[in-house]
Amino acid sequence: MLSNRVGGDTIEARLTALDTAVDGLLGDNLSGLSNDDIVEVLQRMETSLRKAAAVGHRLVVETTERMIPAHLGCRSTGDVLIGTLRISAADAARRVKGAKKTGTWHSADGEQVEPELPATAAAQHAGAIGPDHVAAVARVMRKVPYGLGFDEITTAEKILADAARSVPPEDLVKLGAHLLAYLNPDGDVPDEKERKRRRGVRIGKQGTDLMTPISGLLDPETRALLEPVLAKLARPGMNNPDDPESPTGDVESESLDRDALAKAAARDTRTAVQRNHDALKVALRQMLSSGVLGSHRGLPVTAILTMTVQQLEQSTGIVTTSSGGLVPIRDALRMAETAHPVLAVFDHHGRPLHLGRAKRLASADQRLALIAASGGCTRPGCDAPATLTAVHHITEWRDGGPTDITNEDLAGDACHALVHDGPGGWKTRVAPPGAEHPGRTEWIPPPHIDPERTPRVNHRHHLGDLLAAALAHYRARRETELREHRRRWLRDSTGDANDDRP
C-alpha cells in the first residue's frame, strides 16, 4: 500500500485498477476473437505499454531528483532499477537515458524544464512511439553537428518524432542519416584532397582456400557508378552460382523467363553481400567481353543524379543518385562534365510539367521525370531508391488508368504488390489540389494499419523540401507568438486593452 501522502490514494487506486485489468486479460479467452480483433488488441496493448514507459521515465526523474540512490546506498539510479526491478544493466541504462531525453526535469528553483526532445516526448506520452523509437531519435540527434542553429535542431527533432509515428526504429535511423546529410552537407565531408588520399581497394593475398580478402574505401563518385550496376545484376534469383536454373545476365533481358526468375528468387538463400559479389563478377565479365550492359527498368545503366539550379549556382550541398546514394556537389559537377544533361521542369508542388527532350514522352523519359520528381518508392516509410522501383499506375490500368505522367509514380516491387483489392491491400491516389501535398501520390493504408485509412505520402526522398517547409512553418509560428507576446506586454504596460500595435 502507498503512503497517505498527497496523491497517494489516487495513485493506489490507479495501480489497483491496472493490476486488475492485466490480471483479467491474462485470464481471458482469446481464441474467440476474430483476426481483426487480435490485431486491434495488439495495437491497443502496445499503445498502453508505450504510455507506461513514459510513466516509467517520470519515476526515473523523481528517483534521480530526490537522490533516492544515495538514500538506499546505491551508486546511481541505474543501480536502483537493477536492484528493485531485477532488470538487466542494459535495460536500466536505456530507461535512464530515455528519461534524460524525454522526461520533464526541474531546475534548482523548482521550475519545470522542457524535455531535451520535446516532440519525441509528446509522441511517447500519446503512446505513438516506444522506447526503441526514443533511442533511435536520440542516436540521430547526438550526431547533429555543433554550431547548427536552434531552429534547425528543433525542426529536425520534430521531423524525426513525426516519422517515428509511422516507421519502425530501424527505418528511423536510416532516415536520420540522410536528414543529417541535409543539415550538414559539407561540414563533415572530407575535402577532395583527403578523399583522394583515403580512396583505395585493397586486394589481399589469396588464402589456402583460394579466397581473396578485399577491403577499402570508395569515393562518392565510384559508389554512384557501382550502385546501378549492382541494382541491375544483384536482384534475388539472378546470377546465382549455387542454382543451375538461376537466370543469368541482367534482369531486363527480353529473353528472361519471369516465372523462372520468381522461382529462383524464392530459392535464393544468398545474403545481400553475396549477391553483390556475384553481381560484380558478372559485371566484370560482361565489361571485359562485350562492354554491353543494356538497360535497367527502361533506362540506360548509368548513374542518374538530380540537382537543382540553386545547387549549380552555389556549388554547395549534396546530390542524391537514383540508387539512393549521396554525392557531394563538387563530385556531381565533375561527373556531369561528360553527362547527357536533361532539363526537367516542375510545378510549385514539385510535380513534373515538362521534360526537356526533343521528342514526345516515352516510357524511358517518363521514368527520368519520375526519378527527378519522386526520388524513389512513394509508399510511406519505404526508403527504396529509384533503381529498385517500377513505374506504378496510380489508377490501375485495368480500371482505366492511362499510361501518362500524371497517373504514374515510382513503387518498389514489394510495395507495388501491396496495392490490391483483397484483405490488407493498400490504395493509391493523386493528392487533390486542396491537400497538404497536392499532386503527390497518396497511399491509403488498410484498416489493420490505420482504421481511419488516412492518406499518407512518403517524405523519405524529399527530406530537403520537408526540412525547408518545416523550418518556414516553425519560424512563422514563433514570429506570431513573439508578436502576440509583445502586444500583450504593451497592453499590460500601458493599460490599454485595445492596443493592437505590432
Reply yes or no on whether the pLDDT at 21 is more than 90. Answer: yes
Average pLDDT over residues 66-83: 94
408-412 and 389-393: which strand pairing?
Answer: antiparallel
Cell of 161: 518524432
Cell of 113: 524544464
CA distances from 321 to 40, 421, 436 (A): 40, 33, 26
Q: How many helices (H) and strands (E) does the chain have?
A: 18, 15
Average pLDDT over residues 352-366: 58
Average pLDDT over residues 206-227: 82
pLDDT at 102: 95
CA distances from 78 to 52, 63, 74, 294, 432 (A): 18, 10, 9, 59, 52
More confident residue, 157 or 400: 157
pLDDT at 342: 61
More confident residue, 500 or 255: 255
CA distances from 419 to 216, 397, 403, 425, 446 (A): 41, 13, 17, 5, 10
Which ranges of 66-145 does DSSP label H, i.e. alpha helix?
68-71, 77-85, 89-102, 118-125, 131-141
pLDDT at 297: 66
More confident residue, 434 or 58: 58
Element (H, E) at 350: none
CA proximity to 135, closest of 127, 126, 124: 124
pLDDT at 360: 42
- CA-CA distance, 483 to 472, in Å (whole number)? 16
Residues composing the chain: 502
pLDDT at 52: 95
Average pLDDT over residues 123-151: 90
CB within 8 A of 317, min separation 6: which ones? 185, 186, 311, 329
Q: What is the pTM of this model?
A: 0.64
Share of the chain above pLDDT 70, in %: 85
Inter-residue contact 155 to 474 (CB < 8 Å) = yes
Model confidence band, residue 227 (pLDDT cutoffs 50, 70, 90):
confident
Average pLDDT over residues 346-375: 68
- Look over the chain and give the mean of its residue pLDDT values, rounded to a whole number: 83
Reply yes or no on whether the pLDDT at 362 is more than 50. Answer: no
441-444 and 326-328: which strand pairing?
Answer: unpaired
pLDDT at 206: 64
DSSP 33: S
CA proximity to 293, closest of 282, 305, 278: 282
pLDDT at 221: 85
DSSP 456: B
Reply yes or no on whether the pLDDT at 338 is more than 70. Answer: no
Element (H, E) at 412: strand 408-412
Tens digit of pLDDT for each residue in 237-254?
A: 888 988 988 988 777 777
Model confidence band, residue 258 (pLDDT cutoffs 50, 70, 90):
confident
Dihedrals φ, ψ of 378, to 5°? -95, 0
Tens digit of pLDDT for each residue in 388-412?
A: 888 888 887 777 777 777 788 899 8
pLDDT at 89: 95
pLDDT at 190: 54
Tens digit of pLDDT for each residue in 268-302?
A: 999 988 998 888 888 877 765 554 556 666 666 56
Reply yes or no on whether the pLDDT at 128 is more than 80. Answer: yes
- CA-CA distance, 100 to 82, in Å (whole number)? 17
- CA-CA distance, 340 to 15, in Å (whole number)? 68
- CA-CA distance, 47 to 36, in Å (whole number)? 17
Tens digit of pLDDT for each residue in 310-322?
A: 777 777 777 777 7
pLDDT at 358: 45
Instruction: Give the rounded distance of the alpha carbon of 500 from its chain centre.
Output: 44
DSSP 143: T
Cell of 217: 574505401
Model confidence band, residue 355 (pLDDT cutoffs 50, 70, 90):
low
pLDDT at 69: 95
- CA-CA distance, 69 to 72, in Å (whole number)? 5
CA distances from 338 to 45, 111, 294, 429, 498 (A): 57, 62, 19, 38, 66
